[in-house]
Amino acid sequence: MFTTTLNKIKPILPGLLLSLAVAICGKLLALLMPKLGGATLAILLGIILGNTLFKQPVLAAGTKFSESRLLEYSVVLLGFTVTFQTIGEMGIKGLLFIVLIMTTVLTGGYWIGRKLGFNEKMAMMMAGGNAVCGSSAIGAIAPSIEANDEEKGQIITLVNLLGTVMMLSLPFLGLSLFGDALLSKSALLGGTLQSVGQVVAGASLINPETVKYAMLFKITRIIFLVVVVFIFERKAQQDGLVTAKGSKKKFPIPWYVTSFLIFCVINSFFSLPPLFSDGAHFISTWFETTALAAIGLRLDFRKFLKEGPRFLLYGLSVGAVQTVAAVVFIFLLHI
């Protein structure tokens, strides 16, 4: 059993250790540049090193593990630092903002895709991936509408490319438009960025408080994934794209969101020792920084050049709609 476990861990170690090393370097550099912060420096250092010195395939398994699993564990531990009172600060306006922005992206992303000549299933996946949670949403929607693997792979690549552009640009837009307004900046990032990793990375370019509140907006979007999958499945059935029964599907809400909510409930109703919140915050911060370093290491600029102009136009158009709509709704709702 020990040998089996070791065999599973061994391929992960090179990339995991590299991600941790970059995270440590980011933390150390933050001592010299405290305004940037360790998380920001970790992802920027990762981007530089990942596109120059560390392109070796042996690192891929470990950086993927760091990017996905460590970030999921970080979200779970975040539940120990959040209560219903914190969530309540979003208010009805925050919930209405999420409903409005998701509706806009779902309809706009689908309509733009069809106008650009993409088939209906690809347009649905693009709309759902941008409206909810990137690759995870596409992975949940694809079997519901019986999309093939090639279509799913193309859209996942496009959504990730768009998310990368928005991740590196929206924090600065938020600062220029909203200044010190914490909820406004958090709504912009948590309400638009595609994946959990991109939300954490983008918000980390501002400050830790923005990360916490942006994640609340993001998790609210993810909870609505159940509704989005149901709507697209029914539409696909009505349009004759899938069989009535469809394929057997897993519950679409990711495990880490469910775990976050459970810990949030516990933290709201029980007075936990400071050890829990302080320890969870410390571990979560290191998991997060290591995951962000891995995101930087895995960010391959060559992928931007491989996609055709029609794909890039689709991505940029959806991103523009998403960003403009978010800014308009934030101002209208006075978030």
Domain assignment present for 227: yes
> Which amino acid, one-letter code, is at 67?
E
CB 105 within 8 A of CB 133: no
What range does the domain containing 122 cover?
14-28+35-333
Number of domains within the chain: 1
Domain assignment present for 8: no
pLDDT exceeds 70 at position 286: yes
**In this structure, what token pair is assigned to residue 301?**
């600029």
> Which amino acid, one-letter code, is at 103?
T
pLDDT digits (tens, 9 = 90+) for 205-231: 888 889 889 988 988 888 888 888 888
Neighbouring CB atoms inside 10 A of 32's CB total 8
C-alpha span between 303 and 323 (Å, rounded): 23
Cα 242 vs. chain centroid, distance in angstroms? 29
b/e map 275-307, b = 16+ CB within 10 Å: ebeeebbeebbbbbbbbbbbbbbbbeeeeeeeb
CB 145 within 8 A of CB 241: yes
Domain assignment present for 95: yes
Domain assignment present for 3: no
C-alpha span between 23 and 294 (Å, rounded): 9
Of the candidates 147, 151, 118, 113, the one whose C-alpha atom is nearest the C-alpha of residue 130 is: 113
Neighbouring CB atoms inside 10 A of 168's CB total 17
Q: What is the mean pLDDT of residues 244-257?
A: 62
- Rg for the chain, CA atoms, rounded: 20
The model carries a pTM of 0.76
Domain assignment present for 260: yes
Domain assignment present for 5: no
Of the candidates 240, 132, 146, the one whose C-alpha atom is nearest the C-alpha of residue 193 is: 132
Top-ranked range on mean pLDDT: pick from 93-102, 209-218, 263-272, 293-302: 93-102
Domain assignment present for 7: no
The pLDDT mean for the chain works out to 84
- Percent over 90 (pLDDT), the chain: 30
Full DSSP string of 235-251: HHHHTTSS-SS------
C-alpha span between 199 and 186 (Å, rounded): 9
Q: How far is CA 271 from CA 34, 83, 259, 264, 278, in A?
A: 33, 11, 18, 12, 14
Determine phi and psi for 45, rounding to 5 degrees. Answer: -65, -40
Domain assignment present for 307: yes
**In this structure, what token pair is assigned to residue 292?**
């962000």
**In this structure, what token pair is assigned to residue 194?**
């595609």
pLDDT digits (tens, 9 = 90+) for 141-196: 888 888 887 788 788 878 877 888 898 899 999 999 999 899 999 999 999 998 88
CB 289 within 8 A of CB 107: no
pLDDT exceeds 70 at position 3: no
- Crossing angle of helices 91-115 and 182-190, rounded to 10°: 30
Cα 297 vs. chain centroid, distance in angstroms? 17
What's the pLDDT at 244? 56
